Each structure stands twice: as C-alpha cells, then as structure tokens.
C-alpha cells in the first residue's frame, strides 16, 4: 500500500514506470491511499492549507473524537469557499459547519476489496458523485482516501491485462484444438484397427459356444454307447472333466462380456474421434455424454457413483465437440468438489446426469412460479439458490433468467448434479467470470466455466443455469434449443 501523507514535501506522481504490476485479483491496498484526517473542531482553513500543500490530495477525512465522521472532497470544498462570503463563512469556522453543507453519500470499501469490484460499484454512482473520492477502511479500522481517477486507471490496466490473458488463452485453445484434431485422427485409426479383431472375436464366440455344446453332447453319447472304461475314468479325473464341463460355459460367457465391453469402448472412441467442433450438425447428446464419461473414467472409478437418467431425446443440431468440452468442464468440476469430501464417513459421492425435452410453455411456467415464490416471500420453497448466466447478473438473492435469443418452442435439458458441499453465494455471483477460480495456483485457469457459458449461450443460443445450496450440492442445467 502506498500511504501518502499531505504533509510530505515530496509530492508523489505516478509515472508510467512507477505504475504497479497489477494482477487480476489486485486490491485497493495496492493503490495510493491518502492519510488526511481533519478533526471536526479544526478550522476550515486547515483544509485549505492541506489542499495547497498537496495538489494531488483528493479531499480530507473528517473525524470526531478520533472516530470516522465523513469526507469532504477537494472540488466540493473549493465550490463552497468560492461562493459569495464562502471564505468568511467556512475558513474561520469549525469544519463541521462546512460539512453540514458539503455532506454527500460516502462510499466506504475495506482495503481487501478487489479493484475490479470497487470500480464496478463506484461507476454505479450518480453523475454528480462519480468522481468523488472513495474512503478505504484498513484492517486497523483507520481510514484512507482514494482518488476515483486512480481507481479507474487501475481498473483500466487490469482490464488490459485480462484482455491480454484472454488472447493468450484463446491462442492456447486454438493450439489445443489442433492437438485434439490430431488426437481424434489417431484415435480413429486405433479404433479402426481394434474394431476388426474385436468383431472377429465377438462373432466367433457364438460359434465356439455352439461347438462346445456339440462336443459335450458327443461325449455324453459316447459314454452311453461304450459304457464304463477305467482308462477314460482315469483320464476324466486327471483333467477334472466335471469341473471343465461346468467351467467351459462360464469361460465363454466371461469372454463374451469382455468382448462386448471392448466393442463398447471401440464405439465410444470412434464417436469421440468424429466429434467436429467447427461444423453445426445433428448429434446424439447421450453419445457425447457417454464419450466424455469414458475419458473421465479413470477419475470416476475411485468411489464416485454416476447415475444416468436419460430421457428420449431427438438428434440435436449442435457443435458436438464443443458440447463435449462443456460436459467435460462441468463433470470435472463436480469430481473436484466430490474429491474434497468423499473420504468422510458415511458419505457416498455421486454425480447425477439427467436429460429430457422441455416445452417452452413449461419453461415459462417454471420461471413464473419461481419468481412468484420470490415476490411472495416464500423462502422455504426457494432454499435452492439459482443463478442464470445468460447475462451474468446476480442480485444476491435469486436470479433465474428464462429469456433467450432463441425462439425455440422446445428445449433439450441436460442437468449435471453432484452431492458435494455446494457453492457459497459470494462465489456464485462470479462463477462465470473469466479468470475467476477458487482452485490453488497451477490447478486452474478460471476459464473453464467462462468458456462453457460462451459455448452454450453464444454458440448454441442456449442457457446455462446454476442451482446450488451450500451443504447440499450443485446442479448445472444446460438448455439447448431444438432448431
């Protein structure tokens, strides 16, 4: 924190070289904060002396018996003493007399407030208050003054940084897309090479099963005709013929199950390799989900149960590769949330995936009912917080936006839910922001859900809704219009 006192002889000027290296999560304490207290009993002339001593001082902080009492900005002070008889009225009288006229609504932020958040809220002020200084409260409960111009310059620098990072991430995504395309070609080749021998094995297992039954029938007939033979009995005992006769069928069944699983794997690999993220075409949503689950199977096998409740869905015209990325991001986040608590006694980690077709009228009714409950104060029916990412708005209580650019009469709904700890309301407000992440450094870029939101709402003209209750779990609802 650059703490600036009005009494310093060296007046600080922020040159381009001295601008701090802001981060996306930089806070107000990294900006120049002015220590400029004035007692309510001091004469107004003291403010005049302070402003003359430091041309950059945006105003003064008014205290009464060492307690915060308010703030007077430079331009308001100059406005009042420039009026007729203003110098006589205010410079020779206690500051509290001037404050009675110059008092305005004061914005106070804790010093750990993000610069981006503070700038956003300060810009919501009325025009006459837009450039009023902002009061910053330090952890020791003392107060400093922040020039609104410094705040907006810092916010502009952070915006430039975010744009640069987003550009870099976009380039990385393009490279990753090319890698995935190459991987898809390789997977397609592998799937093709595996498919032929698997088909051969699967087909011949049926013949082998029939042949084994014929051989056993032949052995039984031979025993009936020839009768008992000591040599044959000894040989049957040696090879454990009775066990072999029982186990033969079980081995063939086991081989059939394994061959079917291998066939399923090859089919999923083939589906994955043909997912094109650049062309809009009809796709089977369930195949997209199943292929994603196949890729994540190694992470899911350690105590996480997946429950699929698939409804009857038509083929959906979409960018199947991009939708698979959406499913990948959401399911990966669900796995991360469950891995934090799955070791707790009695807890059964589960991810539920549900699909269905919803008519627009049903969607409108659900929205109307939800808003009616909210307006009427029926909080028991609204314990589940809902956040729509259509425009990123969140009012602190409830936001469930149904409006969409699409005029579709029906929607495909895909709901992916986990029974983890849920998402706190303060994080729900920002969950679809680019670069926002709660994961440790190196564990996440903060772009997964931002990109997910972009793919669903912009690429597919759909909706992405979040329903989360802390302590209960989280559900993401993807709504795709049926074109």
Residue pair 277/322 in contact (Cβ under 8 Å)? The answer is yes
Which residue pairs, CB below 8 angstroms and at least 24 apart, start in 433-438? 433/392, 434/162, 434/166, 435/24, 435/162, 435/165, 435/166
Residue pair 481/457 in contact (Cβ under 8 Å)? The answer is no
Check if 2-146 and 277-481 are the same fold. Answer: no
Say which residues have a Cβ less than 8 Å from residue 386's Cβ, sequence separation at least 6.
370, 398, 399, 400, 465, 466, 467
- What DSSP assignment string belongs to 104-128? ----EEETTSBHHHHHHHHTTS-GG
Q: How many CB atoms lie within 10 A of CB 11?
A: 12
Nearest to 398 by CA among 371, 420, 422: 371
Read off the DSSP letter of residue 440: P
- What DSSP assignment string belongs to 53-73? H-TT--EEEEEETTEEEEEEE
Q: What is the pLDDT of residue 109?
A: 93
Question: How far is 424 from 203, CA to CA, in rounded Å?
Answer: 54
Domain range summary for the chain, segments of one domain joined by +: 2-146, 172-274, 277-481
Structural fold of domain 2-146: CBS-domain (3.10.580)
Provide the edge-to-edge strand list for the sheet that holds 385-388.
Answer: 304-309, 349-359, 410-418, 473-481, 463-469, 385-388
Structural fold of domain 277-481: Heat Shock Protein 90 (3.30.565)
What is the widest separation between alpha-carbon atoms in the chain?
A: 135
Q: What is the pLDDT of residue 441?
A: 47
Q: What is the pLDDT of residue 354?
A: 96
Nearest to 98 by CA among 112, 120, 78, 118: 78
- What DSSP assignment string belongs to 174-200? HHHHHHHHHHHHHHHHHHHHHHHHHHH
Phi–psi pair at 342, nearest 5 degrees: -70, -15
pTM: 0.46
Reading the chain (483 residues) residue by residue, the pLDDT tens digits are 556 554 443 333 333 334 467 888 889 999 999 999 999 889 988 988 999 898 899 999 999 888 898 998 898 888 888 888 888 788 888 888 888 887 888 889 999 999 999 999 888 888 888 889 999 999 998 999 999 999 999 998 888 888 887 777 777 666 666 666 666 667 777 777 787 888 888 888 888 888 888 888 888 887 777 777 788 788 888 888 888 888 888 888 888 888 887 877 777 666 666 555 556 888 899 988 988 888 788 788 677 899 999 999 999 998 887 888 889 889 988 998 888 887 676 688 899 999 999 987 666 555 444 434 333 333 333 333 333 333 333 333 333 343 345 556 789 999 999 998 888 887 777 676 655 565 554 455 445 677 788 888 888 899 999 888 888 889 999 999 987
Q: What is the pLDDT of residue 362?
A: 64
- Tell me which residue has tokens 């203003």: 86
Question: How far is 48 from 144, CA to CA, in rounded Å?
Answer: 18
Q: What is the pLDDT of residue 178?
A: 65
């Amino acid at each position: 924190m650059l703490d600036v006192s009005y009494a310093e002889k060296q007046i600080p000027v922020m040159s381009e070289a001295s601008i701090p290296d802001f981060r996306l999560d930089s806070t107000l304490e990294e900006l120049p904060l002015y220590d400029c207290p004035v007692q309510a009993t001091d004469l107004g002339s003291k403010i005049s002396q302070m402003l003359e001593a430091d041309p950059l001082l945006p105003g003064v902080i008014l205290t009464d018996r060492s307690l915060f009492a308010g703030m007077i900005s430079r331009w308001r002070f100059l406005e009042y003493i420039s009026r007729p008889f203003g110098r006589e009225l205010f410079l020779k009288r206690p500051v509290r007399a001037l404050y009675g006229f110059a008092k305005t609504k004061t914005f106070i932020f804790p010093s750990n407030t993000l610069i981006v958040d503070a700038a956003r809220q300060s810009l919501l002020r009325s025009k006459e208050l837009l450039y009023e200084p902002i009061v910053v409260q330090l952890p020791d409960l003392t107060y400093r003054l922040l020039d609104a111009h410094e705040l907006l310059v810092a916010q502009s620098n952070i915006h430039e940084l975010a744009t640069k990072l987003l550009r870099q991430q976009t380039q990385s995504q393009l490279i990753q897309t090319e890698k995935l395309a190459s991987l898809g070609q390789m997977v397609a080749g592998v799937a093709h090479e595996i498919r032929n021998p698997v088909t051969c094995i699967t087909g011949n297992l049926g013949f082998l099963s029939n042949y084994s039954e014929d051989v056993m029938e032949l052995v039984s007939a031979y025993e009936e005709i020839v009768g008992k033979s000591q040599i044959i009995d000894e040989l049957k005992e040696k090879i454990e013929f009775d066990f072999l006769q029982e186990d033969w069928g079980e081995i063939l069944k086991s081989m059939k199950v394994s061959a079917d699983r291998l066939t399923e794997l090859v089919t999923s690999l083939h589906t994955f390799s043909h997912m094109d993220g650049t062309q809009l075409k009809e796709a089977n949503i369930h195949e997209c989900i199943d292929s994603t689950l196949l890729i994540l199977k190694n992470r899911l096998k350690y105590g996480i149960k997946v429950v699929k409740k698939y409804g009857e869905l038509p083929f959906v015209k979409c960018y199947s590769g991009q939708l698979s990325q959406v499913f990948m991001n959401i399911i990966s986040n669900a796995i991360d949330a469950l891995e934090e608590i799955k070791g707790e006694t009695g807890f059964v980690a589960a991810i539920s995936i549900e699909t269905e077709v919803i008519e627009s009228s049903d969607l409108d009714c659900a929205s109307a009912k939800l808003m009616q409950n909210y307006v009427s104060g029926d909080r028991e029916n609204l314990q589940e917080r809902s956040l729509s990412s259509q425009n990123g708005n969140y009012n602190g209580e409830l936001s469930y936006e149904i409006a969409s650019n699409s005029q579709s009469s029906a929607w495909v709904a895909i709901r992916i839910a986990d029974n983890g700890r849920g998402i706190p309301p303060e994080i729900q407000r920002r969950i679809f922001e680019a670069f926002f992440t709660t994961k440790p450094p190196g564990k996440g870029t903060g772009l997964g859900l931002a990109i997910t939101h972009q793919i669903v709402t912009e690429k597919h003209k759909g909706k992405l809704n979040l329903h989360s209750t802390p302590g209960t779990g989280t559900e993401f609802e993807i709504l795709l219009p049926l074109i």
